[in-house]
Amino acid sequence: MAALERCPSGDFLDLLRRREHPFAVGAPVRPVETGQPLIEAHGTTVLAVKYAGGVLNVGDRRATSANAVMYDRAEKILEVDDTTLLAISGSYARALEVVRYLRHAFHYYRRTQLQEMSLEGKLSEVSRVVAQNVASAMSGLGAFLPVISVYDATRGEGRIFFYDGLGARFESEEWGAAGSGAERIRGAFDYILKTKGRFRDMSLDEALSEALVLLDIAAEMDAMTGGYDKVLPSAKAVSAAGIEHLPEERLREAVSRIRRGA
């Protein structure tokens, strides 16, 4: 087995640059001149809300290209490590590539530095890959914006971070959302906070019900977003116990409560 190539700083992106890996070069993607438009699948809509103990992520399953539904069972909430979730909006292929990179980068740091990367280091690494993608995004392909949910053991709470297209990072106190349906429901988040209280004070099941209602509203107002009638959304939570994948039975129970008005 080949020896693990080491970098003193544990910087996986720097290692890729030295090897001239396409991911690290940063050249814009140029469509092949075939006379036909290049089809790129996009994912929308994803949202994250805090609850008492962690952060819940919910995402519809629809992947689209222009006005066509490419796939209705896409997984948009991906595990980066044991305490980090990344929710996808935008270019599905590019986001999957970024998640694979982050998994390797965190593992590479752990192997070379003999310790886990700090939360600040992980968030900065996400900023770097978003900024690295600017050239591709400006060429019209590969644009994506992530929502990061983590459990911060040092503070004993779940935290939500989101980014702009240049990699600037922001932290949200209660919720985060991305995708074409997210803009249509921004006011609904504030309405819940003002009428039902903070998300961080809700139980996981209460937060799940609110998140499903928000996703259903987005689906009614945004043709690119799938609801929960045909295909159930995906839902994952991150807490001190790690990452929990909420099963379909639990989602069906939550949908039933919503329809009963419970």
Give dist(CA 246, CA 200) in Å, integer. Answer: 18
Rounded to the nearest 5 degrees, what angle is found at the Cα of 163, between the Cα atoms of 184 and 61?
A: 50
Task: Give the chain's radius of gyration (CA, Å).
Answer: 19
**84 cis-preceded (ω within 30 degrees of 0):** no
- Looking at 34, 44, 154, 225, which residue is catalytic? 44
Q: How far apart are CA 237 and CA 149, in angstroms?
A: 9
Burial class (CB in 10 A: 0-12, 13-18, 19+), 7: middle
Catalytic status, residue 84: no
Which sequence positions are flagged as catalytic?
A: 44
